[in-house]
Amino acid sequence: MFRRISPYAISVEGKNKKEIIVYISEELEKDFDKEALSQLENISCLPGVVSPVLGMPDIHWGYGFPIGGVAAFDVDRGGIISPGGVGFDINCGVRLLRTNLQVEEVRPNLDALLSRLFSDVPAGLGKKAGDIISKREFSDLLIKGARWVVEQGWGIRGDLDCCEEQGAMPDADPSVISRRAIERGREQVGSLGSGNHFLELQEVVEVFDSKVAGELGIFQGQLVVMVHTGSRGFGHQVCSDFVKEMLSGMRRHGISVPDKQLACAPFYSEEGQRYWKAMCCAANYAWANRQMLTHLIRSVFEQVFGECWRSLGMDLVYDVAHNIAKLERYKVEGRYRTLCVHRKGATRAFGPGNQALPEVYKKVGQPVIVPGDMGTASYLLLGTDLAMERSFGSCCHGAGRLLSRRQAIRDLEYNSILSDLQTKGISLFSHSRRGVLEEAPAAYKDVDKVVETVVSVGLARLVARMRPLGVIKG
């Protein structure tokens, strides 16, 4: 049973007396997924876990780890790495592009812009960007990530500077990747995908900190572009491959888990290192994928407006990952230790001055992008020093599901969703009726309340709020 320790947090004593903290308001508690809490309790007994195990306000049940779960493991004391703690869509993430355009001045071109984006950006289940790279080039892409795409002329160095890890994790090793993963990856690179992935044109409707927003190139009434996608079938196959590998190897390491979905291995074991290298490949694939989509989006803007994307001010604000594991240093019991921090459905939220941040953001802190879903608002936040103390530098990643996909299909009505979006002035382009039902705004928690929670406990600070104008889904 949990106890409330503040208006925005609850605490539970997990297994092995490890503390569990869930950042959730009293209002959001009524929709709290108790199965997700059980999953946090299971995580608290894994080897090398460091207190506290954390849940973000968008928490809900997931594979092994809940979505919105954060857990850190001391790698020098037998700490593990778990594919279920990262998820199937490795480095699913969000990218925000600004423009120098006011929404009111582009409104006459909005339908043409959305229609062209829907036509030119591959989206949907199994959609392919085309066989555009060779096997050798694909291996280079897995190693270099977004940098490989920029080297092809599909972006600029500044894109990498405004991307988490500069768009590539250095330990990627394609030799550990299965043939099936490579086949799926080559087919789908440069595509949006389905499910909760989207491309949105948005309007900045509220600026909370004009000084910081100005430094980020954000202003009220501005047209911005948000992209939410990840590593597609490639990341899914990597996760599937290594769950099987770790299930077969746990006994050898003397590890037993309360749920086989928590299959894991010591970080420095052979299996742990193989998965780490494969996960880095998948993370790099996702950054390359979002960089390719950025190139396609910029090209469409150029065609519609008859101007170079640079003159349209289409620079990258930031690209943030929310299904990933990272090696980071934190003070534990008075000493700095290297932890493998798993963020599943949670984003990094480093505060000002952190050495991992690009120079452009060291003064203000890392941008944190929190998308809504279709008919709801999205937010631009900044990480804080308090997040480094309270959440291993982590924050929420979105609104979080309220209804399962199956419930949404059963309970929601397609025409009602379309009518509601139309009333709000939101244009929807989708390849799938089922996808619209699954990802309807009513299937998600109130993103405003989720953001209010992380801001109230100091994990992030507000910069701007955006509303959707047009949504493209698979």
Please give the positions annotated as active site: 397
CB-CB contact of 454 with 381 (8 Å): yes
Angle ∠(116,146,432) on CA atoms, nearest 5: 40
Number of C-beta neighbours around residue 251 at 10 A: 9
| CA–CA distance, 104 with 421 (Å, rounded to integer) | 19
Give the tokens for residue 401: 């599901």
CA-CA distances (angstroms) from residue 60 to 311, 357, 400?
Answer: 42, 29, 7
With 0-12 / 13-18 / 19 or more C-beta atoms within 10 angstroms meaning exposed / middle / buried, residue 119 is exposed
Amino acid at site 122: P
Q: How many C-beta atoms lie closer than 10 Å to residue 161's C-beta?
A: 14
Q: Tokens 């030119």 label which residue?
A: 120
Residue in this structure with the two tokens 């582009």, named with its chain if needed:
106
The residue type of 124 is: G
Sign of the C-alpha dihedral computed for residues 124, 129, 133 and 137 taken in this order: negative
In what helix (H) or strand (E) does residue 239 lie, and over which residues does it extend? helix 232-249
What span, in angstroms and rounded, lies between the C-alpha atoms of 169 and 60?
28
